[in-house]
Amino acid sequence: MASRKSILIVDDMPSNIQLVASELKNDGYAIAVAKNGLDALEQASHKHFDLVLLDIMMPQMDGIEVCRRLKGQPEYKDTPVIFLTAKDEKETLLRGFEVGGVDYVTKPFYGPEVRSRVKAQLRAQEANEILEQAVDDLNRQLLASVQHESQLEQEQNEMARFNRSLLERANTDPLTGLANRYHLTSIAQYEQERSARAETTFSVILADIDHFKEVNDHYGHDCGDKILKGVAQRMQAVVRAQDRIARWGGEEFLVFLPDTVCDGASMLAERLRGAVADTPFSCDGIETPITISLGVNACSTNANLDRCIEQADVALYAAKDQGRNRCVAFEDTREA
């Protein structure tokens, strides 16, 4: 029988701890709590937790430093840390991701979202462990067959196919089939370096499904998942062969466009918007209109990729503020 997953909740507000703990206990987790960073580190030194929910803003030692110290311990190198934050501050969250955080939840908490994000990270952790075990098993089989050259060659071919399959699974979002955030970031960094050598401009488009929470609340999460896959398929059908698209997180998608200036990126963004908005989606026979808002940003060859995406996010928020179902370029937000 599998052991219960253990979760450490770290927050200096008892009411926040109680709210999060009450949600997670329904899923059978073993819950431990800490009211400050030092207490959290002390508990983590005596017991290994499968996941840590960590408040960013705490007195004495903030969540960024707690996460940095946790990740400095070998046994917590792969343990997912989800930040709890009252403010969606991009710079602070980026610092959190840089020291090892994998996700965040904003206050006030929405219970199903907390549970969903925790489950997603624990599933990803289990998948990584399974993959690592599978690779270890395959390597042991390979070593045992060294004395048989023909068998070794056959198993090497099998290992290559298996590793390609593992790599594809590691790089792909399981729901939409698009590249995941990690994979697109790797590709974008390579393309950015190529753009720098060629002295060309690249662009990014950040898209977000409008009112997606209301869709989930009204039609259910099965319908929400169907719409996420449908939006991904429509966007994938529009982007050019050289463009890269990924599920960036939740209901957000990122498109990376090599050798593309702002005007070209804005034209593509408008096509993406129309591909989603022009035809309603169907959930259990009910026609459901869906729209997306998009932020566009063109970046020079020496631009910082993370900064470029942050600026696209600023443009995306501007599109939301202007009524949604529209595209806004970052350069236009600076002129406003």
Helix axes of 90-98 and 63-71: crossing angle, nearest 10 degrees: 20
CA-CA distance, 140 to 54, in Å (whole number)? 38
Residues annotated catalytic, as ranges: 251
Which residues on neighbouring strands pair with residue 286, listed in sequence order? 283
* Residue at token pair 């996941």: 51
Handedness of CA 175, 181, 186, 188 (dihedral sign): positive
> In one letter, which amino acid is 257?
L
Helices (H), the chain: 14-25, 37-46, 63-71, 90-98, 111-144, 149-171, 181-198, 212-219, 221-238, 262-277, 305-321, 330-335
CA-CA distance, 10 to 73, in Å (whole number)? 18
* Residue at token pair 């990122």: 254
CA-CA distance, 220 to 34, in Å (whole number)? 34
CA-CA distance, 244 to 156, in Å (whole number)? 31
Residue 323 CA to its chain's centroid (Å): 25
Helix (H) or strand (E) run with residue 103 in it: strand 103-106
Rounded to 5°, the CA angle 111-46-120 comes to 30
